Amino acid sequence: MKGRIFDIQRFSIHDGPGIRTTVFLKGCPLRCLWCGNPESLTLEPLLSYMPDRCIACGECERACRFEAVSGGTAGATAAIDRKACTVCGECVPVCDPKALERVGRDATIGEVMALVERDRDYYASSGGGITLSGGDPVFQPDFAAALLEAARSARLHTCVQTSGHAPWGVLARLAPLTDLWLYDFKETDPVLHKRFVGESNETIVDNLRRLHGTGARILLRCPMIPGHNDRDAHLDGIAALARELPNLVGVELLPYYDLWRAKLPRLGLSTTFPETVKPPSRETMKAWNERLRRQAVKVQG
């Protein structure tokens, strides 16, 4: 079996307990305005171009059969016609300075596990393992299930990071193979949820309740976006949900970050999300966490 991934990050320490290897799968059912991994949204590969690495050798233009690359000679950096580009990747291997990269590749379970198992000793000493992220693993359920089965067979701790926006059968299938769920919860108001991420939150909340009912270990992770969901009502909604689900591992508030913006021009993507939105201060994060603690929420971090 093959799945489509866009990165494998070794020595990850923010995607579950211990030292982990995070496998990033392409494809996502949501369209968050502030998506930190815009390259993950679709299953189709994307062509990344970093002009600051370009040495204007012209090899990419000569390699392109579709005349989608121009320039790259006489000291001028290359330009990509995104409409003409088929993302075939033929320009990538001739680019010696690595200014071009095809983001998204097919990989077998064996190929992924061969890389994951390199760090088995680190997992054993730290309580780590493998984490499936994305995108969202629920977008490729067959591959995600097969990869988790392989990890379980290798006796590795497994985490799944998900929005939970999928048919319940997908989560039910992955549940017996997952030691810890990193469950994203972005907005308590269904109308605002749809405005911010493209879908309402009813399915997400329903799946969270059902998953909790199975006895699954769940860490509720809540990204906090200034000017969007940083309302007392949303924080109180998180607290109410946490009280309803007493067996949660805890709640973790995640501060918004804007490093994703630098990816957009490289990928030929754009956004309407205001540049005025900046990461919250440490003091603000502390105040939000304290508000949850006063409501008897088990806050992580």
Write down all domains in the chain, each with its CATH number in brackets.
2-43+105-293 (3.20.20.70), 46-103 (3.30.70.20)
- Tell me: pLDDT of 235 over 90: yes
Q: How many residues does the chain have?
A: 301
DSSP state of 301: -
The identity of residue 241, as a single letter, is L
- Tell me: pLDDT of 301 over 80: no
- Helices in 117-189 by DSSP H: which ranges? 120-126, 141-153, 168-174
Distance between CA 36 and CA 43 in Å, rounded? 16
Distance between CA 199 and CA 221 in Å, rounded? 18
Query: Chain centroid to CA 268: how far?
Result: 19
DSSP state of 134: S
Report residue 74's pLDDT band, with 50, 70 and 90 as the boundaries: low
Distance between CA 104 and CA 88 in Å, rounded? 11
Which one has a higher pLDDT value, 218 or 71? 218
Q: Which two tokens stand for residue 80?
A: 């990509």
CB neighbours of 78 closer than 8 A, spacing ≥ 6? 49, 51, 54, 56, 60, 61, 69, 70, 71, 72, 99
pLDDT (mean) for 246-258: 97
- Tell me: pLDDT of 247 over 70: yes
Report residue 170's pLDDT band, with 50, 70 and 90 as the boundaries: very high
Report residue 70's pLDDT band, with 50, 70 and 90 as the boundaries: confident
DSSP state of 261: G
Q: Which two tokens stand for residue 104?
A: 């998204």
Give the pLDDT confidence score for residue 246 in this predicted structure. 96
Report residue 73's pLDDT band, with 50, 70 and 90 as the boundaries: low
∠ at Cα 268 (74, 198), nearest 5°?
A: 175
- Tell me: pLDDT of 153 over 90: yes
Give the pLDDT confidence score for residue 178 in this predicted structure. 98
Distance between CA 109 and CA 270 in Å, rounded? 33
- Tell me: pLDDT of 234 over 70: yes
Q: Which two tokens stand for residue 101?
A: 């990269």
Q: Which two tokens stand for residue 290?
A: 């304290």
pLDDT (mean) for 91-120: 96
Neighbour-count burial for 111-120, b at 16+ CB within 10 Å, e otherwise: ebbeebeebe
- Tell me: pLDDT of 284 over 80: yes
- Tell me: pLDDT of 228 over 90: yes
Mean of pLDDT over the chain: 96
| Contact indicator for 110, 151 with CB cutoff of 8 Å | no
∠ at Cα 25 (127, 188), nearest 5°?
A: 80
Strand partners, 287: none
Q: What separation in angstroms does the CA of 127 have from each of 10, 45, 178?
A: 15, 33, 15
Quick one: 23 exposed, middle or buried, by C-beta within 10 A (0-12, 13-18, 19+)?
Answer: buried
Which one has a higher pLDDT value, 41 or 72? 41
- Tell me: pLDDT of 72 over 70: no
pLDDT per residue as tens digits for the range 10-36 = 999 999 999 999 999 999 999 999 999
pLDDT per residue as tens digits for the range 176-217 = 999 999 999 999 999 999 999 999 999 999 999 999 999 999
Lowest mean pLDDT, pick from 15-19, 51-55, 191-195, 256-260: 51-55
| Contact indicator for 43, 141 with CB cutoff of 8 Å | no
Quick one: 281 exposed, middle or buried, by C-beta within 10 A (0-12, 13-18, 19+)?
Answer: exposed
| Contact indicator for 33, 196 with CB cutoff of 8 Å | yes
Give the pLDDT confidence score for residue 132 in this predicted structure. 98
